[in-house]
Structure 1
Amino acid sequence: MLNKLSDTIYYLSNQDDKDRPTLGLVCGDRYSLIIDTGNSTQHAKEFLLEIEKLNVPPIKYVVITHAHWDHFLGMNEFDATVIVNRQTNERLKEWQSYQFDDDSLQQYVNTNQISAKCMEIIQTEIPNRDVFKLNSPDIIFEHTLTIDLGNKVCLIESIQSTHTDDSTVIYIPDEKVLFLGDAAYGTTTNSLFHFKQSLLAPMITDIQKYDAEWFLLGHESICDLHEMTLYWDELVAASQAAQSTSLENAVDCFKAEKQRDPNDNELFFLQAFVNDRIVQS
């Protein structure tokens, strides 16, 4: 079931057990715009079935927030203009060359091109895999693109991110809503989850320039401004305390600065920034 944020903005909540991210729908007077297409054709079809229950304008545009498989493998189900940034387009080219039969998928897993979970989702939720081929995007933008859906402007922009270097966000000014995709998350390198410490401040600056009150994230669904501000505060505090590859030292620095123990979120972030020091070294 779609969640209604306003008369013109809806979203399908994430499902962590199925590796399904949040999907968005923005409606203007003339057209509608989709944000991310799901992790499979089945995910996309379920989203489209929910949209059909609404009396909304036809879907004209689709925006992919970044080139991680769970956000774009449903792309082929949408009869619309697909928009990506330049970096995302380069990453999608590799996927457009993939074959999706069992032998090929297993080879991609063996060479760490895709995860075992990705293979499982593809095998169970993409039919006719022997002839499946990912479509190409239609519009590739460099930095910023503005779309008018009819009295509903969407600002589409590439930003710096601790998650991936091809992150796109979508801002709806009159609603003060920002779709972040996975931009505010960390990443995994050599089996270590980490936040890229060098990109934290630039990312926060890029995101906080928007006058947003609601934030749609890929795997938490929706946060208000207070929740996002708390998230930034905890990340910044953890980053400032993690100045070496020692978690113990990071915790001690945090305690000395804050005069308290870190909470569970802050401890998780401390470990992630310590991991980043390890990755960078």
Structure 2
Amino acid sequence: MGENTGDRGLEHVAGRVWLYPHDPDPDAIGASVAVIADERGSVLIDAGNSPAHAREVRRAIAAAGLPAPRWLVYTHHHWDHTWGACAWADVEVIAHASATALLAAEADRPWSHQYLRDQVTENPKLGPSFRARALAVPDFGELRIVLPHRTFTDTLTLPTGVVLRFVGGNHAPDSLVAVDPDSDVMLVGDCYFPPPFHLRTDADTPDLPMARRLLAERHAYFIDSHSAPRRTT
């Protein structure tokens, strides 16, 4: 039986930035994947939440006639942004330096549907995330967590002019933002979100000061991974 995809297709944002939109079902935890298209090779911002998700994005890139990805940037190490990486071939994976140890720890876990069930039994607050992982990855035999091939600590400019900048934050300590100056678009991942649900307290809220600082840079578009793009100018 062929893969049942539900592919959504790429949406053009501005300039050379395209977006495979987030899954509108919040229970699916399907982050968006951005494509910054360039004839020297496209830049992917995040990998998709599973190999199947990555294959959907790859088909959408081909259908749109965009150059194949050459670089894959993790905005942070969380599963819904990184678990699709093993389905991307011939890409250089780039992340903040602190992501390597975090992903290595995740790679050491014995991922399986039974492991997910056992973990939720021990900590029910993991339920929403782990149920979404079970739906995203029907076959854990094809999952391989890919560690970064290249890291940086402050900023990094890719050969296509895309600028990566470390911002950190409460959601994930390795969070970075990506800016395409040519298109005047900033992609922020989940950097200003509160911590993941299983780590969240009643006092945790979105980091609005961080969001305001980023918005103050006045790029034409501001895109997080679980919302529609925001036009800001």
Is the shorter-chain TM-score for this pair beyond 0.5, marking a shared fold?
A: yes
In structure 2, relative to structure 1, the CA distance for the partners of 1:111 and 1:139 (3 Å cut) is farther
Match of 1:245 in 2: none
> Is the Cα contact below 8 Å between 1:99 and 1:130 reproduced in 2?
no
Partner of 1:67, secondary structure, is: coil
- Could you tell me which of 214, 220, 233 is aligned with 1:213? 220
Distance 1:124 1:10 in 2: 26
> Is the Cα contact below 8 Å between 1:99 and 1:132 reproduced in 2?
no
Partner of 1:91, secondary structure, is: helix
> Is the Cα contact below 8 Å between 1:162 and 1:200 reproduced in 2?
no
Q: Does 1:170 align with 2:178?
A: yes
> Is the Cα contact below 8 Å between 2:50 and 2:143 reproduced in 1?
no
Work out which of the two has the higher radius of gyration on C-alpha atoms and give 1 or 2.
1
Cα shift at 1:47: 1.1
> Is the Cα contact below 8 Å between 1:154 and 1:173 reproduced in 2?
yes
1:69-218 alignment runs, 5 A limit: 69-79=79-89, 80-112=91-123, 115-130=126-141, 132-149=143-160, 153-187=161-195, 188=197, 189-192=199-202, 194-195=204-205, 200-201=208-209, 204-205=212-213, 207-208=214-215, 210-218=217-225
Q: How many residue pairs end up in the alignment? A: 220
In structure 2, relative to structure 1, the CA distance for the partners of 1:84 and 1:111 (3 Å cut) is farther
> Is the Cα contact below 8 Å between 1:34 and 1:61 reproduced in 2?
yes
Q: Which 5+ residue runs of structure 2 have no aligned equivalent? A: 1-8
> Is the Cα contact below 8 Å between 1:22 and 1:221 reproduced in 2?
no
* Sequence identity (%): 21
In structure 2, relative to structure 1, the CA distance for the partners of 1:11 and 1:122 (3 Å cut) is same
Q: Which 5+ residue runs of structure 1 have no aligned equivalent? A: 227-281
**Which of the two has greater helix per residue?**
1
Match of 2:3 in 1: none
Scaled by the length of structure 2, the TM-score of the pair is 0.84
Cα shift at 1:113: 10
Cα shift at 1:137: 1.6
Cα shift at 1:124: 3.2
Cα shift at 1:109: 2.8
Cα shift at 1:209: 5.9
Cα shift at 1:6: 2.8
